[in-house]
Amino acid sequence: MGARCSKLSVCWWPPRFKSPMLENGAAEDDGSGVPVFAEYSLAELRVATDGFATDRIVSEHGEKAPNVVYRGTLFSSGRTVAIKRFGRSAWPDSRQFLEEARAVGQLRSRRLANLIGCCYESGERLLVAEFMPHETLAKHLFHWETNPLSWAMRTRAAFYVAQALEYCSSKGRALYHDLHAYRVVFDAEGNPRLSCFGLMKNSRDGKSYSTNLAFTPPEYLKTGRVSPESVVYSFGTVLLDLLSGKHIPPSHALDLIRGKNFLVLMDSCLEGHVSSSDGTDLMRLASRCLQYEARDRPNLKTVVSGLECLQKDVSTPSHTLLGIQHDNKNSDRISLSAIGKAFARADLNEVHEILLHDGYDEDDTANAELSLQSWNDDVSESFVVKRHADNAFRSKDYSTAIECYSRFIDSGAGVAPTMLGRRCFAYVVAGNPQEGLEDAKRAEVIASDWPMGHYLQALALHNLGREAESQEALKNGTALEAAMNSRARTV
């Protein structure tokens, strides 16, 4: 007969506990500060977005391939991410989707909003990328409320995007689909970055352009295919946006340039803030990128070189040019220890090992809050029950562990925070996270400086779907663990 697994045994974990880092053997990051590419479960991304709540939506767009971008928070790391959810009609071939995502996920550049993961469960197709908190280039160009985008930031945005495209091309990803001002986003430091989403085709028929046909490369209209020269053409439309502060059809702009009436194209907000020579140089570069014949357009290396010469205020930080407050602290990340990470990614095997050893001595009752009753046969019997509970916990017989720990605690013989921690964990694995949360909170009351009480609360809260509270508990546990380690070093 084959072995059977109890519903409480270690081989049965709820899907929400599965961690992409654990399953794929992936490290937190590859040294770039960006997580390595991982495959996430639908359950984790659903929790990260509060069930794909409407108040988490960052943007909605696309007619041929409708998609929604959410702001999410990954429980496994505390990282804030952008999660793009495609419509059901997109990517019918899950293998093709995964291959494309993995290829794009290998790219890592400070000029990209990098792709860090994907999900392809149950007909769903989702991409996970670095979150850029300071809106799109289109927002700052077309919908500014107080201050227009400065010339220095406009040329910096053009330069950084050109560098991103050149980097992608050097890594074998020369094709970028439907490049426009909404694809350029600003990170926490105010630096312009190119969204990684445009590096993947995103519709059933492989079409890559869903914008107004007036902005589509001529050769795409003829063949339906994107080429590296098509990307240069689309980049030329972005340069027009930066020059004019408006979305002007390339054909109209080229007519004005040929008629030497290009000053009409310049954004009136830039008057007196840009030299005529700089404006002319950028205009000429844009017109070269927008040539009807693909062979007449410059390559990306030439574009990058031309834009580098136009850079102004290079020593001024991007957040200053963008006019945003810059916080040196990265509030979107929680710097976790190895123990904290085990709880954050819900690695139940590792958490079980931690609870077996952390501050727990089964033969030492000094930490127990014993009642004042005299030692008698009842108390002696209670500690036999406790020993049974410890043995059951060690062997992962969680139903017996819950029963015996409860009998010991109810007897009044004593209670220790580590004992409550073990019962909390057993409750969570058994599918009773509310009872587990109560035990973790009680352990915190008994031992307020014990980080495990907070870490266990984070685990239980996550299982209850209370993500914000779970993240706060992780932070509290991390702070207590750091303080505890600091005290240990000074002894």
* Domain co-membership, 282 together with 235: yes
Question: Is residue 87 a part of any domain in this protein?
Answer: yes
**Mean pLDDT of the 395-422 span:** 87
Nearest to 258 by CA among 288, 217, 219, 221: 288
pLDDT in tens, 119-148: 998 889 999 999 999 999 999 999 887 789
Give the pair of three-digit tokens for residue 105: 């996920």
What pLDDT, on the 0 to 100 scale, is given for residue 294? 93
Looking at the structure, tell me whether residues 188 and 262 fall in a common domain.
yes
Residue 424 has pLDDT above 70, yes or no: yes
Based on the fold, state whether residues 350 and 393 are members of the same structural domain.
Answer: yes
| Residue 64, pLDDT score | 53
pLDDT of residue 61: 72
Residues 360 and 473 grouped into a single domain: yes
Q: What is the mean pLDDT of the chain?
A: 81
CB 232 within 8 A of CB 299: yes
- The answer as to whether 460 is a domain residue is yes
Q: Helix count (H) and strand count (E) of the chain?
A: 19, 9
Specify if 5 maps to a domain.
Answer: no
Torsion of CA 299, 305, 307, 309, to 10 degrees: -160
Q: How far is CA 189 from the centre of its chain?
A: 17
Domain boundary among 86, 103, 130: 130
Q: What is the pTM of this model?
A: 0.66
Range of the domain at 393: 338-490
Where residue 35 sits, what CATH number does that domain have?
3.30.200.20
**Average pLDDT of the residues in 332-344:** 74
| Helix, strand, coil abundance in the chain, percent, nearest 5 | 50, 10, 40
CA angle, 244 as apex, 241 and 245 as ends, to 5°? 70
272 falls within a domain: yes
Same domain assignment for residues 59 and 206: no
Which residues are paired to 195 by β-bridges? 113
Residue where one domain finishes, among candidates 130, 161, 184 = 130
Cα 231 to its chain centre, rounded Å, is 27
Q: Which amino acid, 21?
A: M
Assigned domain for 213 exists: yes
Tell me the CATH number at 389.
1.25.40.10
**Spatial distance between the Cα atoms of 311 and 278, rounded to a whole number of angstroms:** 10
- pLDDT at residue 81 greater than cutoff 60: yes
* Same domain, yes or no: 88 and 148: no
> Which is catalytic among the residues 178, 241, 267, 390?
178
Backbone phi, psi, residue 244, to 5° = -100, -20
What 3-state DSSP class applies to 3? coil
- Confirm whether 9 is domain-assigned: no
pLDDT, mean of residues 413-418 = 78
Question: What confidence score (pLDDT) does residue 260 get?
Answer: 66
Same domain, 188 and 313: yes
Answer whether residue 275 is part of any domain: yes
Let me know whether 117 and 142 are in one domain.
no
Is a pLDDT exceeding 90 seen at residue 106? Answer: yes
> In terms of domains, do 213 and 102 share one?
no
Domain shared by 186 and 245, yes or no:
yes
Question: 89-93, 217-221, 423-427, 462-466 — which one is most confidently predicted on average?
Answer: 423-427
* Terminal Cα-to-Cα distance of the chain (whole angstroms): 56
* Last residue within a domain, chosen from 101, 130, 159: 130
CATH of the domain at 225: 1.10.510.10
In this structure, the answer to whether residues 166 and 300 fall within a common structural domain is yes
Query: How many Å apart are CA 217 and CA 226, to the nearest integer?
Result: 8
Greatest Cα pair distance, the chain, in angstroms, is 104
DSSP characters over 198-252: GGS--STT-----S-GGGS-HHHHHHS---HHHHHHHHHHHHHHHHHSS---HHH
One domain for residues 369 and 477: yes
Tens of pLDDT, residue by residue over 356-403, are 887 554 434 434 444 434 444 455 677 788 888 899 999 999 999 999
Q: Is residue 8 part of a domain?
A: no
Is 178 noted as a catalytic residue in this protein?
yes
Structural domains counted in the chain: 3
**Using 50, 70 and 90 to split pLDDT, how confident is the model at 416?**
confident
DSSP structure class, residue 8: T
How many residues belong to the chain?
491
Q: 205 or 428: which carries more pLDDT confidence? A: 428
Q: Per-residue pLDDT tens for 438-462? A: 999 999 888 888 889 999 999 998 8
